[in-house]
A and B are shown apart, each in its own frame.
Chain A
């Protein structure tokens, strides 16, 4: 009770201060458990946000209260108690480790298999002082890191945390945030809109080709992934950016529920290539303790000839609920979705895409590779909608499932809605098994059973792996093998 009282006072005092548009110092590092309007206000105050954003969050929160948790996906999990979650905690300074010697050897083994350089291993494992060292290692020196930022600025590219963007570029955030995924969109996206705390903002001005893959940079920051992330990327006319989120290294997180929102806006002749590698903790063999990952990702191809491609490698999480989508509004716009989803042990994935064709001559490609092993369930769920004005729109879908063992499941659920008489929709689906013959053939050439499995599955995923940024493809290949460990024999 005493604590509750204290909280109420604290929140009250915070909102009090906020009224004057000035928050100097909030003592608490963590908001009290549970969700309420006060918590939403607390978060907004912590982030020193302007009034309009607080209002937006509150609208989302109030709307969320009227919503029901969706149940249509083929995933099963215990009911989430949303009042039993902490919605804000300041970045925790973990107990710093002195050296890699103190790190869980199992984790180090995985880093080794992935071929992650020693210095980066230190960062990922949270070794004291490693961060600066690694930035040095990757960018050669601190000055190079600065050059990296300077180089982006020179071209007018804005790339910063979303809270910084709210402060420094409010007009852009206000204009675009919620314009692709409205705060009313779906249960998890609405929740995110109310309580998001982290995420990135990226703005590529007209005609600029982002001078570097934003993946290199992200690699280093990946260790600080948040629970409710919000990402907003805007590619103005004729611009291009390749963006990569996530990390091949296994990530443990105390937060079981993750509900991110990603919005992409693509203008005329612009292109965004968005790649994801998701390897959060999947839980143990019995599925205990894994992450629940409910993500809303959507791209709006607003201008003519605009293009977006989503590439994802999903190997982690106990539950993945994720449908990166493309709204193809501009004439001749192009949407692509390339996906590898691997589920092992008790993992469940229900993932796919939505291709909404609105403009003329729009085209979309979907290549989905689902791999199930152990007792896992893997569902591809995809919608292709051709609007009335989508003349000569085209979609080509290839949906391949690979089964390892006979206790797992693969499901394909395509939805097709066609209102255009001239649209062309093609759908191919296959289900296959890794054959004993293939495994034996590889083993006869000297590969262990696990190496054989990794090689065969990598072959199965090849078309998608090729879509990843070069420097990540090699690690992703290794990740495929590691994710399937224990699935044979």
Chain B
């Protein structure tokens, strides 16, 4: 589904990604761990197409297509969803309006029927219920005044609604309380299917108890320094990154 080859990327002329090669097949979940500032978020932004992040060499193929040639919204409409590490506030725009607009943008792009407010509310209520989110949150402006955990739940809600093919989760677990973590993990697991794939950035092995990854990678200083299965996460928790990178 996603094939990253020797990807180099810079921000403001500074090289952050220094040759990343990673293949994610449909049905797989890959966890990415690594120290602060390693370039994990940068990788997710480059995949989502954020401006200012310049790819200097390498390639990314998504569903057989050159991903880097697509605009961020095209990538989104083609099924890539990024749950932000720091979700962004949009004052004055109700969450429900935001999500309906996003939902319909994708429907339109795919040549499918757009939904009206009533139909949308029905769709979203199913998801809020599953995720234990109060409907009252739908009326509030996107992320404005949300607690850290609420912002993360809201990201999961949007993802559940948009049902992406490729989930990119950037520290979605950080800031969630234990119950919320379980609920969020359930939400993510519900999306798992042989047709979908995920890249999960996290600092905590705990999340991986709920979402069992097929692979775990360690990203340090812009490179993948080690890959393995779930046991690698446990090992990391014990030894820390310093020892790992030295090895």
A contact set with B: CB distance below 8 Å: 435-438, 440-449, 451-452, 455-456, 458-463
Contacts and interface: CB of A to CB of B under 8 A. Distances in A.
Nearest to B104: A446
A444 B52 contact: no
Q: Nearest 7 pairs between A and B by C-beta?
A: A459-B92, A459-B93, A445-B102, A462-B92, A446-B105, A441-B88, A443-B72
Contact of B72 (A440, A460, A463): A440
A451 B92 CA distance: 15
Contacts of B98: 442, 445, 455
Contact of A451 (B50, B81, B82, B101): B101
A443 B73 contact: yes
Contacts of B51: 436, 440
Given A435-B88, A443-B72, 19 more contacts: A436-B51, A438-B89, A440-B48, A444-B48, A444-B72, A444-B76, A445-B76, A445-B98, A445-B162, A446-B102, A447-B102, A448-B71, A451-B101, A451-B105, A455-B90, A458-B93, A459-B141, A460-B91, A461-B92
A438 B105 contact: no
A424 to B, nearest CB: 26
A441 B81 CA distance: 11
Contacts of A461: 92
Contacts, number: 81
A444 B101 CA distance: 12
Nearest to A462: B92
Contacts of A444: 48, 72-73, 75-76, 81-82, 84
B77 A446 contact: yes
A462 B144 CA distance: 14
A335 to B, nearest CB: 24
B106 interface: yes
B58 interface: no
A455 B88 CA distance: 14
Contacts of B75: 444
Interface in B95-111: 97-99, 101-102, 105-106, 109
Nearest to A454: B101
B69 to A, nearest CB: 16
Contacts of A462: 92-93
Contact of A458 (B77, B92, B102): B92
Nearest to A451: B105
B172 to A, nearest CB: 14
A447 B77 CA distance: 9
8 contacts: A444-B81, A444-B84, A445-B101, A446-B105, A452-B73, A458-B93, A460-B92, A462-B93
A435 B52 CA distance: 13
B103 to A, nearest CB: 8
B76 A438 contact: no
B105 A455 contact: no
Interface string B166-178: 0000000000000
Nearest to B75: A444
Interface of B: 48-52, 71-73, 75-77, 81-82, 84, 87-93, 97-99, 101-102, 105-106, 109, 141, 158, 162
B73 A447 contact: yes
Contact of B91 (A440, A441, A443, A459): A459
Contact of A441 (B71, B90, B106): B90
A181 to B, nearest CB: 34
A285 B105 CA distance: 29
Contacts of A436: 51-52
A443 B76 contact: yes
Contact of A455 (B81, B93, B162): B93
A438 B89 CA distance: 7
A451 B105 CA distance: 9
A440 B50 contact: yes
Contacts of B97: 455
Given A451-B105, A459-B92, A441 B73 contact: no
A359 B174 CA distance: 57
Contacts of A452: 73
A445 B92 contact: no
A360 B75 CA distance: 60
B62 to A, nearest CB: 15
Contacts of A458: 92-93
A447 B105 contact: yes
Nearest to B48: A444
B90 A438 contact: yes
A444 B87 CA distance: 11
A435 B106 CA distance: 23
Contact of A446 (B50, B76, B89): B76
B148 to A, nearest CB: 16
Nearest to B144: A459
Nearest to B106: A446
Nearest to B103: A446
Contacts of A451: 73, 101, 105
A461 B84 CA distance: 26
Identify which of A447, A449, A463 gathers the most chain B CB atoms within 10 Å of its CB.
A447
B88 A438 contact: yes
Contact of A442 (B52, B90, B109): B90
A455 B101 contact: yes
A441 B102 CA distance: 11
Contact of B90 (A443, A446, A448, A459): A459
B160 to A, nearest CB: 13
Contacts of A445: 76, 98-99, 101-102, 105, 158, 162
Given A441-B84, A455-B98, A449 B93 contact: no
Nearest to A432: B91
A440 B82 CA distance: 11
B141 A437 contact: no
A456 B143 CA distance: 13
